Structure 1
Amino acid sequence: MSRLPPLLFCLLLFTLPALAGEARPSRADLQRVMELHARSVVRVRGPKQTGPGVIVGSAGQVLTALGPVGEEFVGLNAATVEHDGKALPAKVVLANAALKVAVVAAPDGTYPAVPVKLLKEGDSLAGRWVVGVVPATKDQPAKPVSAQASGSAPLPFFDVPLALPPGSPVFDGDGRLVAVVVQRHRRGCRVLPLSEVKVRLASADGT
């Protein structure tokens, strides 16, 4: 049975219009994102490499960058999701080289999925404030940081001046997932909006 419909339902359930003139996220907003990040971000280990991912479906679907898996692993139990101190086997349900994203599904269960915000058709992340959690280093703990997305990247991507690894989630000030990091880019990262992921999921489910 396909694991895509529950995730599509989740993405549709939290579809909200993007608002113009959004204010810079407050300290309370940053703290909210930090709590969501701690609860819902996992490690995805694949046959190629390991990277972060974020739980986007309450049944165990995890969105990540393409790095850990590739298109050749779709349909295979080729990944592991590290969540809540456990290493869970995961099936690759989507991998798209053009968009640089993948979705893997952990075993059936109940997982802490993040709320999601989809852009309306024709809308843009450019100029909007987003929040990411910069990973901890030897000298600094992990911390949430806000920045404005740029429209300088080729569509459907946007650039964000935050040092986030591929697979990291990017939130709005209300703590809703709006994009996923797909690659490092100059001094920041390149992100893909969740609306594009929804389109690819719908296409994959229809094949």
Structure 2
Amino acid sequence: MPRPPPLLLLLIALPSLALAGEGRPSRADLQRVMELHARSVVRVRGPKQTGPGVIVGSAGQVLTSLEPVGADYVGLSAATVEHDGKDLPARVVLASAALKVALVAAPDGTYPAVPVKLLKDGEGLAGRWVVGVMPAAKGQPARPVPAQASGAPAPFFDVPLALPAGSPVFDADGRLVAVVVQRHRRGCRVLPVGAVKVQLASADGT
């Protein structure tokens, strides 16, 4: 039997916990998200373009959108992760056109991985409060902004925030619940992290 992809192995080890309280995030919640964002978000430069990514594995695995690397570079050292003031060569571990996400791996080391929260089976993000960090612009610093997610074609959800593809989306506890895969005029489309686990497990069994 072929070995499951590294991202699947990573997510299998994470607990599938329900989202916490559904109220609007507090100021303390937003500050927590901002601190985690500053620590764990990196820039991923690939053959196509550059975009944000988030460290999801302490060994250097970075989840981002498909946009920087495309689907043709799996297995190749075709990306660079900008972390802690350094440009680190990164191998493309996964690039899924269906999920619109990619996983790249920086060199072995110890990295500040973000906490991850997976939805339980049957749960969704629609109607729930999430937090994204709006990029700095026009002299204004980056800032955390809460928003309520809405439904979209499965397995995706929409969030009314203009976040770049590859940006993380957190819950009020500062845990990664989704990654932005596409911008659109009403905000952005996000993929729950648990959907990556489910669909990769299904693909591995075929």
- TM-score range, shorter-chain basis? over 0.9
Aligned equivalent of 2:187:
188
Q: CA deviation at 1:3?
A: 9.8
Structure-2 separation of matches of 1:26 and 1:127? 17
1:15 aligns with 2:16: yes
Structure-1 separation of matches of 2:148 and 2:182? 17
Structure-2 separation of matches of 1:139 and 1:9? 38
Preserved contact between residue 46 and residue 69 of structure 1 (Cα < 8 Å) = yes
Structure-2 separation of matches of 1:125 and 1:167? 18
The letter for the 2-side match of 1:39 is R
Cα RMSD (Å) of the superposition?
2.0
Give CA deviations for 1:4-62 in whole Å, capped at 9, x if unaligned: 5477345532421235x611100000000000000000000000000000000011000
Aligned equivalent of 1:163:
162
Aligned equivalent of 2:172:
173
Give CA deviations for 1:86-108 in whole Å, capped at 9, x if unaligned: 10000001001111100000011
Runs of 4+ deviating beyond 2 Å: 2-15, 199-207
Structure-1 separation of matches of 2:121 and 2:8? 20
Structure-1 separation of matches of 2:34 and 2:203? 32
The letter for the 2-side match of 1:63 is L
The alpha-carbon distance between structure 1 residues 30 and 190, as it changes in their structure 2 partners (threshold 3 A), is same
1:120 aligns with 2:116: no
Structure-2 separation of matches of 1:121 and 1:61? 25
Structure 2 alignment gaps of length 5 or more: none
Structure-2 separation of matches of 1:5 and 1:180? 18
SS in 2 for 1:57: coil
Query: 5 Å matches for 1:146-157?
Result: 146-151=146-151, 153-157=152-156
Q: Structure 1 vs Structure 2: percent identity of aligned residues? A: 81
Q: CA deviation at 1:196?
A: 1.1
SS in 2 for 1:63: strand
Structure 1 alignment gaps of length 5 or more: none
How does the TM-score come out when normalised to structure 1? 0.92
How does the TM-score come out when normalised to structure 2? 0.92
Aligned equivalent of 1:35:
35
- How many aligned residue pairs are there? 204
Query: 5 Å matches for 1:53-92?
Result: 53-92=53-92
Give CA deviations for 1:132-153 in whole Å, capped at 9, x if unaligned: 00000023110000000001x1
Preserved contact between residue 135 and residue 163 of structure 2 (Cα < 8 Å) = yes
Give CA deviations for 1:160-203 in whole Å, capped at 9, x if unaligned: 00110000000000000000000002231000000012234446
The letter for the 1-side match of 2:45 is R
Structure-1 separation of matches of 2:204 and 2:60? 17
